[in-house]
Structure 1
Amino acid sequence: MKIILLSGGSGKRLWPLSNDYRSKQFIKVMNSDNGINESQTSMIQRVWNNLKKYDLASSAIIAASRVQQEVIESQLGDDVTLVLEPVKRDTFPAICLASSFLHTKWNVNEDEVVVVMPVDVESDEGFFAAIRQLALEFESSTANIGLIGLKPTHPSEKFGYILPDSSDDNAALLTIDRFVEKPASDEASQLIALGALWNCGVFVFRLGYLLQLLDASQRPRQYEELLTQYHTMPAISFDYEVVEKERNVVVKPYEGKWSDLGTWDEWATTMPSYLNGKGILSEDSVNTHIVNELQIPIVVMGISNAIIAASPDGILFADKKLSPKLKELIKPISARPMYEETLYGWYRVIDIEKNEMDQHVVTKRVHVWARKHISYQIHTMREEIWTIISGNGDVVVDEQRFTVSSGDVIHIKCGSKHAIRAIDGLDLIEVQIGVEVSEEDITRYDYDWEEHRLLRKGRIFV
């Protein structure tokens, strides 16, 4: 068995904590001291740890967008196998690319069972046991696709519904009568009464089945070739493109713990505390949660059944029951993410403005974890000023290396190569000033910190 973990997400349902760089699977509930609590774990970390418990991590790859690479490696380590989309599409192209990778790079046999599952789920170990069991039962099945169907707890409009054939109730894998994608509440109630199950987003198939789909669409099986053609693939989900068209599908019912935590209402049920971050909740604020990533306190008095979430990206105050409508409401909001977790640590944008010279000025708070470093890089459109707040580090500017500590200020001119490595945990304020300031204005170089020398030019990010 091989596993493809899908790491997608638009970052809208849990705004303002989530964005296109930090989708919900990467969120850790923050503490009140410095915005980062390493005792908290994200959804992707919990899924990966469960795969390790069942000795499945070595058989798993993660399909993700390029912008997620740093946060995934930051949270899981750099030994995970990533298949990165060159452009963002949907689950069908992502599964095709990952399957091609298994075929080309891992030389997986076409008869091998492949399990596809999302990384943004909250479940217990029983769910992973059910996945393993589904894969084992699917091996002796003649079906083309296998699914896991969760027994519904209420009529929900956000799930697809699987209606099994009632004639084989005693079978381990049930054949499927029909699918209904995200029905209205009344229809969902009727489907539940008929024995319908929620679609958990888990797909099982033999690798050869997916490769034949590539053949039928006249797309290459070879990974490198498919990668070059990836931008031409349709942006469509695996459900719509494959599952709903396939007649030979079976489902394994599951009744244990599972949630995709797709709304703030659902997310709040997993929080260890009503107050997460700086703030005060009055005793009469019943079932209200505060999630505060800012350094200023939030005070709530007499407000019940609400979610108050604050981050550098914005502030949300919502009735929990209305939180499923958030994605549509915030569509007009379009701005660069103000917080990002990276390979070296994290940064938070404090301020963005234009000065009297019509230059863009961006001010960031940057944290570099001990023994981690910001890459040796150059900017062509801006200069930077670093002010060390705390900690000690090594700095390289145009091949010149020196040590810095609290209170030191480094002025990096436009066009100068520069990097910093933390000796212990290091915090700094970074002010970027230029005609244009963007995350794309970076050319990275490989630098050997032990030998104190430049190795070669790295990637240019465009």
Structure 2
Amino acid sequence: MKTIILAGGSGTRLFPISRKKYPKQFLKIGDEKSLFQKTVERSLLAVNPEDLIIITNKDYQFHIKNQLSEVFNDSSVESFNLILEPLGRNTAPAIALAAKFALEKLKVSEDEVLFVSPSDHIISPVEKFAEYMKKAEKIAKEGYIVTFGIRPTKPETGYGYIEADSALSLTETNHNSPSTNPTIYKVRQFHEKPDLETAKEYLAKGNYYWNSGMFAFTIKTIFEEFKKNAPEIYEKVENSTFEEVLENFESMPDTSIDYAVMEKTEKGVVLPLDITWSDVGSWDAFYEVMEKDENRNVKVGNVIDINTKDSLILGNKRVVSTIGIEDLMIIETDDVLLIAKKGEGQKVREVVRKLKESEKFKHLTEFHTTVYRPWGSFTELEKGDRYRIKRITVKPGEALSLQLHYHRSEHWVVVKGTAKVILEDDNGNLKEIFVHENESIFVPKTRKHRLINPGKIPLELIEVQVGEYVEEDDIVRFDDRYCRE
């Protein structure tokens, strides 16, 4: 069995902590590991590292590699099967592309089972989940498309639902031992996110399950269903090489696997999961799955709470103090403070929409004050009309591109470590200069330059930019080891 981890989503429902350039699958909220890292570790309870296929977009490739290197040693990161979508085309094209990769690059047969998992879910206990994965593999080998259904615990309006039909008998699934044969049901219908009254009806009926977005099927089965129900995807994959599919990925329809296949197939079955699960699709959902104190508060960061109950309080650098509040969600970052009533978490997307419409604030939906790069990160400390101040961290052995700026000069002060600076002189020659702690160097505008960390510890420095234009797009790259434009 191969596991496909879908890690290209850019949702902002956990704004302001989740943003387009650093979405929720990479977040470590009150935890040492991100949701993506937990997904990888959970998958490895059922498959080997070489059986993982991680599909994401080009913007996230360095997040993926950095987070894999935190879980595994650096030398093993490049051995993971990583597919980079040129642009997002939803889950159906992503799964088709991954299936093609498995056939062509991993040399598997059409009878190989693919298990598909999003990268941003919370699941426990993980050992029990691994058993469900192995059960799904057995069922999928018999030609079914298995979807994992979560037993609803409340009338949730933020999830889609799967309506189960009759149970499949042991003879239909060819299992001889009832102890190893899970109860599975034919899928009657998929339902979109309901209103509250409809969700209450689903809960009362007892044969409706939350749609987890996890599936298992053989390559043969899914290609047959693409051919029957989504020929516009099948035709682009069947008669092309993997490289050709990737090159023409933009022409793929933007559609989900639910719409392309699951809502139409006659091979769909639902395997109910008796575990704790959340797609963390809102701050309300985050509150539900987190550990609470004696007043049913979830607190992360520097929080002082007095007479506070049933609230979610996430602090960042500042101390967050609350007095006499109840049923509130307070999320603080360097540049945004979100305060909402519990139960209104799904409306965060409306805040994001309004910010996107604002010329002044639309950048807030894209970036944090800390921006991650393949070489490390930078944090904006202050910005004015003609200046910008950053704290830059360069990982050991990494280097920024050889570049120049037309509109700004830069002054670098090393705080920790040793910097190797490549700087163009008055004659156009590139010179190598070492800058140590408490030393500085000036980089004039229009001069080629490069910053390198030759040491064994992270390099930290303060950068002061001065000029008539201090935005990120004032950069001309001449050489870049990360192949950025």
Interval of TM-score (by shorter of Structure 1 and Structure 2): 0.7 to 0.9
Q: Taking structure 2 as the reference length, what is the TM-score of the superposition?
A: 0.82
Question: Where does residue 142 of structure 1 map in the other structure?
Answer: 143
- 1:327-353 CA-partner distances (Å, limit 9, x unpaired): 123212121413333443332223344
Pairing partner for 2:434 from 403, 411, 421: 403
Query: Does structure 1 residue 437 correspond to structure 2 residue 474?
Result: no
Is 2:401–2:478's contact at 8 Å kept on the other side of the alignment?
yes
In 2, the alpha carbon distance for the partners of 1:15 and 1:248 equals 38
Question: Where does residue 283 of structure 1 map in the other structure?
Answer: 306
- 1:363-389 CA-partner distances (Å, limit 9, x unpaired): 3222334x2423333144454525335
Question: Where does residue 337 of structure 1 map in the other structure?
Answer: 367
In 2, the alpha carbon distance for the partners of 1:410 and 1:304 equals 52
In 1, the alpha carbon distance for the partners of 2:265 and 2:202 equals 21
In 2, the alpha carbon distance for the partners of 1:384 and 1:443 equals 16
Query: What does 1:81-120 correspond to in 2, within 5 Å?
Result: 81-120=81-120
Pairing partner for 1:311 from 305, 329, 333: 333
Is 2:314–2:331's contact at 8 Å kept on the other side of the alignment?
yes
Is 1:382–1:432's contact at 8 Å kept on the other side of the alignment?
no
- Does the C-alpha gap of structure 1 residues 442 and 63 become closer, same or farther in structure 2, counting only changes over 3 Å? farther
Is 2:315–2:331's contact at 8 Å kept on the other side of the alignment?
yes
Question: Where does residue 67 of structure 1 map in the other structure?
Answer: 59
- Does the C-alpha gap of structure 1 residues 289 and 177 become closer, same or farther in structure 2, counting only changes over 3 Å? closer
In 2, the alpha carbon distance for the partners of 1:286 and 1:70 equals 40
Give the SS at the match of 1:92.
helix
Give the SS at the match of 1:337.
coil
Is 2:406–2:474's contact at 8 Å kept on the other side of the alignment?
no
Pairing partner for 1:296 from 315, 318, 336: 318
Cα offset for 1:446? 5.6
- Does the C-alpha gap of structure 1 residues 429 and 297 become closer, same or farther in structure 2, counting only changes over 3 Å? farther
- Count of residue pairs the alignment pairs up: 433
Identity %: 26
Unaligned segments of structure 1, at least 5 residues: 31-38, 356-360, 448-457
Question: Where does residue 165 of structure 1 map in the other structure?
Answer: 165
Give the SS at the match of 1:403.
strand
Cα offset for 1:208? 2.6
Task: Name the stretch that deviates more: 401-410 or 116-125.
Answer: 401-410
Query: Does structure 1 residue 364 correspond to structure 2 residue 394?
Result: no
Pairing partner for 2:219 from 207, 217, 235: 207
Query: Does structure 1 residue 241 correspond to structure 2 residue 235?
Result: no
Give the SS at the match of 1:318.
strand
Is 2:160–2:210's contact at 8 Å kept on the other side of the alignment?
yes
In 2, the alpha carbon distance for the partners of 1:250 and 1:241 equals 16
- Does the C-alpha gap of structure 1 residues 320 and 429 become closer, same or farther in structure 2, counting only changes over 3 Å? farther
Q: Taking structure 1 as the reference length, what is the TM-score of the superposition?
A: 0.85
In 2, the alpha carbon distance for the partners of 1:389 and 1:297 equals 29
Pairing partner for 1:394 from 419, 424, 428: 419
Question: Where does residue 219 of structure 1 map in the other structure?
Answer: 236
Question: Where does residue 74 of structure 2 map in the other structure?
Answer: none
- Does the C-alpha gap of structure 1 residues 383 and 96 become closer, same or farther in structure 2, counting only changes over 3 Å? farther
In 1, the alpha carbon distance for the partners of 2:53 and 2:438 equals 44
Task: Give the root-mean-square deviation of aligned CA atoms.
Answer: 2.6
Task: Name the stretch that deviates more: 211-220 or 320-329.
Answer: 211-220
Task: Name the stretch that deviates more: 379-388 or 53-62.
Answer: 379-388
Question: Where does residue 73 of structure 2 map in the other structure?
Answer: none
Is 2:306–2:322's contact at 8 Å kept on the other side of the alignment?
no
- Does the C-alpha gap of structure 1 residues 275 and 388 become closer, same or farther in structure 2, counting only changes over 3 Å? farther
Question: Where does residue 177 of structure 1 map in the other structure?
Answer: 188
- Does the C-alpha gap of structure 1 residues 372 and 262 become closer, same or farther in structure 2, counting only changes over 3 Å? farther
In 2, the alpha carbon distance for the partners of 1:263 and 1:389 equals 40
Cα offset for 1:158? 1.6
Amino acid at match of 2:392: V
Is 1:103–1:222's contact at 8 Å kept on the other side of the alignment?
no
Task: Name the stretch that deviates more: 420-429 or 222-231.
Answer: 420-429
Is 1:116–1:202's contact at 8 Å kept on the other side of the alignment?
yes
Cα offset for 1:88? 2.1
- 1:48-106 CA-partner distances (Å, limit 9, x unpaired): 12223334332011111111111111111233322111112211222222222222222
Question: Where does residue 179 of structure 2 map in the other structure?
Answer: none
- Does the C-alpha gap of structure 1 residues 313 and 106 become closer, same or farther in structure 2, counting only changes over 3 Å? farther
Cα offset for 1:46? 1.1
Amino acid at match of 1:354: D
Amino acid at match of 1:189: K
Query: Does structure 1 residue 426 correspond to structure 2 residue 424?
Result: no
Is 1:288–1:304's contact at 8 Å kept on the other side of the alignment?
yes
Is 1:393–1:423's contact at 8 Å kept on the other side of the alignment?
no
Query: Does structure 1 residue 151 correspond to structure 2 residue 151?
Result: yes
In 1, the alpha carbon distance for the partners of 2:81 and 2:411 equals 34
Give the SS at the match of 1:443.
strand
- Does the C-alpha gap of structure 1 residues 313 and 233 become closer, same or farther in structure 2, counting only changes over 3 Å? farther
In 2, the alpha carbon distance for the partners of 1:431 and 1:272 equals 43
- Does the C-alpha gap of structure 1 residues 405 and 317 become closer, same or farther in structure 2, counting only changes over 3 Å? farther
In 2, the alpha carbon distance for the partners of 1:270 and 1:258 equals 12
Give the SS at the match of 2:379.
strand
- 1:236-262 CA-partner distances (Å, limit 9, x unpaired): 211112211212211111111111111
Amino acid at match of 1:418: R
